[in-house]
Amino acid sequence: MSLVIGIDPGVHTGLAIYRDGDLIRCASPAPGIIEAIEIVTEVCRSEPGRVLVVFEDARLIGGIGGAQRGSKADRARLQGAGSVKRDCAIWSELLGRLGVPYRQVSPRAKGTKLDAAQFEVLTGWGAPTNQHSRDAAIIARPYRHTRSM
């Protein structure tokens, strides 16, 4: 048995879990970071040696286009990006402390965003989702058949 947890960091943390290749959780509404940390910690502790965490890491992408112009909107975008980058650092530290293997994925790696109907066709998940949970599931999807942790 193997578990792959997908995380899309941000104000609303996307969270999805695959068990033996099947999507079993696609959190909606998206939890905040504290709740997501609690969920991931509990799963990792209850399934030692069987969990891989995959998260979108904003630190793997370059600067933000147009941010150097200094407009209020550009500064807000930079602040939001800085917050997400800090969340990514927190996930790296947490997973390292837990001794859980993890993969960091560039935001560009997940491709275009899927709406609920496209997501259901791709994954078979028919329950309600939100963009954050769908992103988390898409981030983890390529790893869903990983067996050795």
pLDDT in tens, 74-88: 444 444 456 788 899
pLDDT at 100 (0 to 100): 96
Domains detected in the chain: 3-143 (3.30.420)
- Tokens 């509990």 correspond to 42
In the chain, alpha helices (H): 33-46, 72-98, 116-123, 131-140
The average pLDDT across 104-115 equals 89
The average pLDDT across 20-44 equals 93
For residues 29 and 81, the model is more confident at 29
Burial of 41 (0-12, 13-18, 19+ CB in 10 A): middle
Q: With the C-alpha atoms ordered 37, 81, 53, 22, is the resulting torsion angle positive or negative?
A: positive
pLDDT at 20 (0 to 100): 94
Q: Taking all residues of the chain, what is their mean pLDDT, rounded to a whole number?
A: 86
